[in-house]
Structure 1
Amino acid sequence: MGESSRITSRDGLRADARRNRERILVAARAVFAEHGIDAPMATVARWAGVGVATLYRHFPTRDALVRAAFARQTEICGRALAEALADPDPWRGFQRLIETVCELQREERGFPAAFVTVFPDSTAEQARVREQAERDLLTLIRRAQAAGALRADFHPSDLGVALLSHCGLVTALPHDRAASRRLVAFLLQSFRAEAAHQALPPPSTLSLRSLPLAADDSRRPRASRA
């Protein structure tokens, strides 16, 4: 074993272990994009050029692998939610949040499937952060409604339905940015208060827990109270 492979980084991983971990994450994103997030873990290991045992040493569960593979995207979503709450214009914050999430769906083909899949919180801290994100999203929606910008009959589950719709589009047409942008524009226009001309059918039962807006809040800016 070479000297460089024994060097330990700040997170406690040796250089060779770190390289294996990065290869696994790159392979996971590629496999999830190609075969979906239910693809066998052995397939991820094979694409990464490592043994299955090595993969499980780094990521003991599929949940852990999916979370790590899309950690950057989830962190961006969490930061976008915090910035939306901090924006003095609640509609502008709401709009930018949706645009940011949809941009991430376009950017990483495997992310849409991970985005709409519910993974159980493995720790009390993760559950707490996710619950706070759900409350923050509800606060943002209520502020935009109170400002008269977001239609009064908008339900939190409508956001999940809209993002699922966009997910389907980018999955079917991954390279058609124009179609994606147009759909997002249509959705946002339909959410405006002035678009509410007639009653809607009952809302979906889709849970807010399917939205990956829970990031580490230790670095999040604190929004002022409504």
Structure 2
Amino acid sequence: MSIKQSETAPALRADAERNREAILVAARQVFAEDGSSASMNEIARRSGVSIATLFRRFPTRGQLLAAVFTEKVAAYVNAIDSALDDPDAWRGFRSYLETAFEIQAENCAFTDVLTMSVPEAPEFMAEQRRASRLLPQLVERAQATGRLRPDFVHQDVALLLLAIAGVVNATRKSAPEAWRRVAALSIEALQSQREQLPAAPSTQQLYRTFALERIQSRKTESHSKSR
């Protein structure tokens, strides 16, 4: 009995690890294409595992998103850190935006994930909180140079990222690099001007927007499971 256990346990662990990696690879692809509300059934199908195996490895959508996006969120926060360390505040802010746009273009679920609460992934949430704390500092620092328009607020970054995601989705097949032009135009438009922007949505309004999207995705997911 003990011999059989010692022989099969490593194989079982290897199979579980292969399944986990297959799920993550598929999830990166599906979330990149369809956003954070993408079908869990589609992720399971592409990974070659059953939906039961997927939920055994990742019991909630949030846990799967955290596993997929931990490195990207860390890269995003590092971009803010680097921008704050740049002696040229406007150059640092511009570099940060370029990095953020690049990350968003790679995966359209990114902005939603930045606001998602995943208590089961404390390190992931710690990075989210650090980003929320540092971004307003970065904006204020860039505005102090006179280069960043004074009516820009940190919530505007989320709107810009959502705009990039929309362009990526619309042009993915026909003009996959089109988002770069929109990104460049956006950065140019942020420099000090006399015309005042319309009022920005509040942080609470943005969170509510993303929360409603997640509620809808959970309803869709629950419906799929019950079928």
| TM-score calculated relative to the size of structure 2 | 0.76
- Report the residue type matching 1:132 in the other structure: R
- After TM superposition, the structure 1 stretch with the greater mean CA deviation from structure 2, 71-80 or 29-38, is 29-38
Distance 1:69 1:126, change over 3 A: closer
Counterpart mapping for 1:86-165 below 5 A: 86-106=85-105, 108=106, 111-117=107-113, 118-122=115-119, 126-165=124-163
Distance (Å, rounded) in 1 between the aligned partners of 2:116 and 2:134: 20
- 2:184 paired residue number: 185
- 1:75 paired residue number: 74
Do 2:77 and 2:130's aligned partners in 1 also have CA atoms closer than 8 Å? no
Count of equivalent residues? 201
Do 2:34 and 2:108's aligned partners in 1 also have CA atoms closer than 8 Å? no
- Report the residue type matching 2:10 in the other structure: R
Distance (Å, rounded) in 1 between the aligned partners of 2:125 and 2:29: 28
Do 1:105 and 1:167's aligned partners in 2 also have CA atoms closer than 8 Å? yes
Distance (Å, rounded) in 2 between the aligned partners of 1:190 and 1:52: 46
SS at match of 1:64: helix
What's the offset of the Cα at 1:28? Answer: 1.3
Distance 1:80 1:44, change over 3 A: same
Which of the pair is proportionally richer in helix?
A: 2
Counterpart mapping for 1:7-26 below 5 A: 14-26=13-25
| TM-score calculated relative to the size of structure 1 | 0.77
Do 2:156 and 2:200's aligned partners in 1 also have CA atoms closer than 8 Å? yes
Cα RMSD, aligned residues only = 2.9
SS at match of 2:197: coil
Identity %: 40
Distance 1:15 1:151, change over 3 A: same
5+ long unaligned stretches in structure 2: 211-227
- 2:52 paired residue number: 53
